[in-house]
Amino acid sequence: MTSIAILGGTGYAGSNIAREAASRGHDVTAVSRSEATVPAGVTHRVGSLADADLVRELAAKHDVVAVATHALGDPDLREALPQLVEAARDGGARLAFVGGAGSTLVAEGGPRLVDTDAFPDEYKPEALAHAEVLDSLRADQSDLQWFYVSPAAGFGAWAAGEATGSYRSSDDVLLADAAGTSAISGADFAKAFVDEIEDPAHENQRFHVAY
């Protein structure tokens, strides 16, 4: 059994991860900024990534601290990252990030999806902020343990999909089906995320999951 704290644990990605992890018998705490209903077997705490004391407590008491918040939330994830990294190193926790699809490459060698004309302008600030978080993690030369998962381009509560029990993964190149659709359900994204917690295959790396 692994102890897992999920910041943003009542959002779309976070709640799916919490449900999947709890169903496998892990000790799961979902953290959100207000009271919320959580899946069966999950403990809830009210708190924020902005609370440095809470972050240090979570990192000291859990094997994995997952971050499933918006990059441009309150606080800005880029600004909160240094204290999060320090807390994880001191507490011996592995950091796990729900990232974005924007930083994936549309083909080997680029460009990034966010840099193409097809990427909606209104989503670019969030995508670029997530990309900065990934760049900061990759530049870290300490003994921090982390992984970062980028979902398919079509990922969100508006396209929840169904659990199929399967997914494909790549390191950096965006995956799509024969029709050019890049999608993953919340349940199967969570499966990939918890699979990585249970059987680490991407130490200090980003990986991307889609059908």
Say which CATH number the domain at 119 has: 3.40.50.720
Name the residue among 65, 85, 84, 64 with its Cα closest to residue 75. Answer: 84
Q: Which of 72, 131, 69, 76 is nearest to 100 (CA)?
A: 131
The pLDDT of residue 129: 98
Tokens 């994995």 sit at which residue?
A: 64
Rounded Cα distance between 165 and 43, Å, is 25
Domain count, the chain: 1
State which H helix or E strand residue 164 sits in: none
* Coil, strand or helix at 68: coil
What is the extent of the structural domain holding 59?
A: 3-210
What is this structure's pTM?
A: 0.96
State the Rg of the chain over Cα: 16
pLDDT at 74: 86
Contact 137, 148 (CB under 8 A): yes
Contact 124, 153 (CB under 8 A): no
One digit per residue, the tens of pLDDT, for the chain of length 211 reads 999 999 999 999 999 999 999 999 999 999 999 999 999 999 999 999 999 999 999 999 999 999 999 999 889 999 999 999 999 999 999 999 999 999 999 999 989 999 999 999 999 999 999 999 999 999 999 999 999 999 999 999 998 999 999 999 999 999 999 999 999 999 999 999 999 999 999 999 999 999 9
